[in-house]
Amino acid sequence: MADVTIFHNPACSKSRGALAILEENGVEATVVRYLDAPPDRATLERILDAIGGDPAALVRTGDARFAEAGYAKADTATREGVLAILLAEPRLMERPVVLVGDRGVIGRPPEKVHDLLG
């Protein structure tokens, strides 16, 4: 299997669940605790490319910190807007994100990780 990376927050039950699925399937993943080592622009761009779809999906717009930081959903309307938010506020990145090679999913629910393993 290609290199597997999980952007993980151990305080998040969904993130713990996705990591457990990887472990149960014997997948050795690189675990990136993104709150301790926030992703840079190139990494965020790689994540957005891998997950595809609407870039806004990578931002936790329902998190209280989103509004507290002065953001509105309109700020996530573009890829550049999403990148700016996540570079300034890494805590707002949706988690977990699992990458397998050039493919990726946001593991909400954690079972979405199976899409990458099959």
114 annotated active-site = no
4-117: CATH superfamily: Glutaredoxin (3.40.30.10)
What are the structural domain ranges in the chain? Answer: 4-117
pTM reported for the whole predicted model: 0.95
Q: Rounded to the nearest 10 degrees, what angle do helices 79-88 and 41-51 cross at?
A: 130
pLDDT at residue 77, as a whole number: 97
| Active-site choice (4, 7, 8, 12) | 12
Per-residue model confidence (pLDDT) at position 2: 76
Q: What is the mean pLDDT of residues 20-44?
A: 97
Which residue, among 26, 94, 39, has the nearest Cα to 63 in the 3D structure? 94
Angle value at C-alpha 58, between 63 and 100, nearest 5 degrees: 135
Q: What is the pLDDT of residues 85-112, one digit of tens each?
A: 999 999 999 999 999 999 999 999 999 9
Residues in the chain: 118
Mean pLDDT over each residue of the chain, to the nearest integer: 96
pLDDT tens per residue, range 6-17:
999 999 999 999
Rounded average pLDDT over 31-52:
98
